[in-house]
Chain A
Amino acid sequence: MAQSLFDWSWVLDNLGEIWAQLAEHIVLTVVPVGLGFLMAFPMALASIRWPRLYSPLLGVAGILFSIPTLALFVVMIPFTGLSKATAIIPLTLYTLLILLRNTVEGLKGVPSHVREAAEAMGYTRTRQLFRIELPLAVPVIIAGLRIATVNTIAYVAITALIGQGGLGNLFMDGFLRQYPTPLIVGLVLSVLLAVAADLGLLGVQHVLTPWQRDPG
C-alpha cells in the first residue's frame, strides 16, 4: 500500500501531543540556557577581576563542551535516573563555553579609553561594571546567547533517547514506525523554534541597545 509522505490527519489527531512536546522542547531549552547564563556570568566577572582564572575556567568549559552529548546523558543516568535533571544538567554544561567566552570577550571589548574615562570620572569599580561595561558588552553577550540557544534546541532532540526530548520524541516516533509525518512535523517545528528564538534574542538586543541604531 502506497503511503503518502505527509499525513495531515495524523497532525490533526495529535495536535495536543505536538503542542505538549513543543512546550517541553521550549522548557528544555530555556532552563539550561538560563541556568548556564547564571553560572557563566559570575565566572565571567571573576575572570575579569582575576584574569588568571580565565584560562582554567575556559579550559574546563571547553572539555565539558567536547564530551559527546549522548555519553554525557548516559553518565548522568546512574545519578539522576531518567528524570528531567538528566537532560537539563548536561544541556546546561554545554552552554558554559559559549556564554563564558562571549561575556568575557564582550566586557574586554569595551574600549580602553571609555574605561579610562569612567575611572577618571570617579566611578567605583562595581558601578563602572554595571553602568558602563556591561551595557556595552550586551551585543557580544547576546550573540553568545543566540548561539547557545540554537545549539541547545538541537541537543534537546537527542534527550529523547533518555526519555525526555520534546520534539525529539516525534523524530523517534516517526523513525521507529517508519512513518515520516511525525518526523517532518518535529523537524519543521524545531527549525521554526530555532529561528524564532534567534529573532527574539535579536529583538531583545535591539531594545537594549538604542545607541547602536542608525541615526533617525
Chain B
Amino acid sequence: MITFESVTKRYADGTVAADDVSFEVPEGELVVLVGPSGCGKTTTLRMVNRMIEPTDGRITVNGEDAASVPAPRLRRDIGYVIQQVGLFPHLTIADNVATVPSLIGWDKERIGERVEELINTVGLSQEVASRYPRQLSGGQQQRVGVARALAADPPIMLMDEPFGAVDPIVRESLQDEFLRLQRELKKTILFVTHDIDEAMKMGDRIAIFNVGGILEQYATPTDLLATPANDFVVDFLGAERNLKRLALIPVSAVEHEIGPLVSEDDSSSRAQEVARESGTDWVLVTDTEKQVKGWVSINDLDGQGTVGEAEIQPFDTFVTQDESLRAALDGMVESHLNVAVRVDGDGRYEGVVTHNTLTGELK
C-alpha cells in the first residue's frame, strides 16, 4: 500500500508539481496517474521512491515513512519501469534482469533460475538472455524492462509511461499481457500516462491531475465517467463519455431477456403469437441445437407453414458475456432490432440485451 498525506512539491523557481495531494493506493491495485503535461504526475510518482523529495507532507510505503528509509534500500523493494526503458547497454539481457537480485546479494544459482523464469513470464525466448539491449526491438526491450523491475519480486511497482515508446499495436498487446500478469501478481502499482484511454484500460482507480499538481478527482474508471467531479474532468475524459462507460461494463453485468424466441420447426402462427406477446414485429430463430439462425419479420410469416420456410435474416454480430456493452450497442445498431444477441462460447443462444437495458445502465 502507498499513501500520500498532504504531499506538496514546490520547486525553487516557484513551480508547483504537487499541491497538497492526498490519496491511497490500495494493496494489489493498479492506480493510474493521468493528466496534461505539467500536472506533476511524474513528479508524484518519483516521490514514492525518493528520486524526488517532497517539500511537505508524508508518503508511506507499506506503512513505513518513505523518508525514514535509506533511498537505495527503499528502491530495491520498488520495481521501476520508464518509457525509455533505461536498460544498461553494456550488460546482457540476463545481467540487466539480474540487477536488483545481484544488488541485494542473491546467490548465482538463484539469480540464474529467476532470470530464466522472468524471461518466460514476459513472453521472450531464452535466446535473448545472452544478447545486448541494442540487439532487441523496442517492444522486446520494454518486456525486459518489466522483467527487470519484477526481478526481486517487489511488492510495489512504479511505471512511468511504460508502453509509450512503442507503436500502437505492440502497445496494445503489451498492455493486455501486463494486465494478465497483474491479475496473477497482484502488485501495488502506480502507473503514469497522459493517455486517458490507457488509463481507463489499465486502472483499477484513476487519479486525474491538473496543471499545478492539483488532484482533481480520484475514483474508479466507471465512477469517473458516471460522476465526473468538475468541468476539467469532463473535458479530460473527452467526447463520447457514455460510449466509454459502456466499454467498461461487461455484458455479463446486465440482465438479458429471453426475447421473442422460436425454433425453426415452430409453426408460423405460434411465432406470430410469440411476437405479439413480447411486443415485437419479429422473432428470433434457433435450431434444435440452440444455434442462432437469424430473425424473421412477422410479415414474412404470412402463408408459411413453419418458421423455417420463411425468409430468415442472419445476424452479423453476436456478443458473449466477456464483451462490453459497447460491443452490444454495436450489435444493436447492426441488426436494426434494438437488441444485441448474446451467445455462449460455443455460439449457443443465451438471450438478448435490449436498448432499454443499456440506457438504464447509463442513468
Contact = CB atoms under 8 A, between A and B. Distances in A.
A10 interface: no
B89 A211 contact: yes
A119 B131 CA distance: 23
A210 B134 CA distance: 12
A114 B100 contact: no
A86 to B, nearest CB: 41
Nearest to B148: A121
Given A122-B100, A123-B103, A215-B135, A117 B73 contact: no
A120 interface: yes
B355 interface: no
Nearest to B135: A215
B74 to A, nearest CB: 8
A52 B266 CA distance: 91
Contacts of A113: 82, 84-86
A13 interface: no
Given A121-B75, A121-B100, A123-B72, A211 B86 contact: no
Nearest to A215: B135
B91 interface: yes
A119 B78 CA distance: 12
B11 interface: no
A136 B89 contact: yes
A135 B90 CA distance: 7
Contacts, number: 66
A111 B134 CA distance: 14
Interface in A133-169: 135-136
Contacts of B89: 114, 136, 211
A121 B76 contact: yes
A193 interface: no
Contacts of B274: none
A208 to B, nearest CB: 9
Interface in A56-92: none
Nearest to A214: B135
Majority secondary structure of chain A interface residues (helix, strand, loop or mixed): helix
Given A116-B51, A117-B82, A211 B132 contact: yes
B146 to A, nearest CB: 13
Contact of A117 (B87, B92, B104): B87
A119 B75 contact: yes
B72 A211 contact: no
A132 interface: yes
Contacts of A3: none
Interface in A191-216: 209-211, 215
B80 A120 contact: yes
B279 to A, nearest CB: 62
B248 to A, nearest CB: 32
A121 B74 CA distance: 9
Contact of B75 (A120, A135, A210, A211): A120
Nearest to B99: A121
Nearest to A114: B86
Interface in B78-112: 78, 80, 82, 84-92, 99-100, 103-104
Interface string B43-85: 0000001010000000000000000000111111010101011
Contacts of A211: 89-92, 132, 134
Interface in A100-117: 111, 113-114, 116-117
B49 A120 contact: yes
A20 to B, nearest CB: 42
B100 A136 contact: no
B17 to A, nearest CB: 17
Interface in A155-195: none
A111 B76 CA distance: 21
Contacts of A117: 80, 82, 85-88
B88 to A, nearest CB: 6
A118 interface: yes
A9 interface: no
19 contacts: A111-B86, A113-B82, A113-B85, A117-B87, A119-B51, A121-B80, A121-B103, A122-B72, A122-B74, A122-B100, A122-B103, A122-B104, A123-B72, A123-B103, A132-B90, A135-B90, A136-B89, A209-B90, A211-B90
Across chains A and B, which 4 residue pairs bring their CB atoms closest together, nearest first?
A117-B86, A122-B76, A113-B84, A122-B75
Interface of B: 49, 51, 71-76, 78, 80, 82, 84-92, 99-100, 103-104, 131-132, 134-135, 148, 158
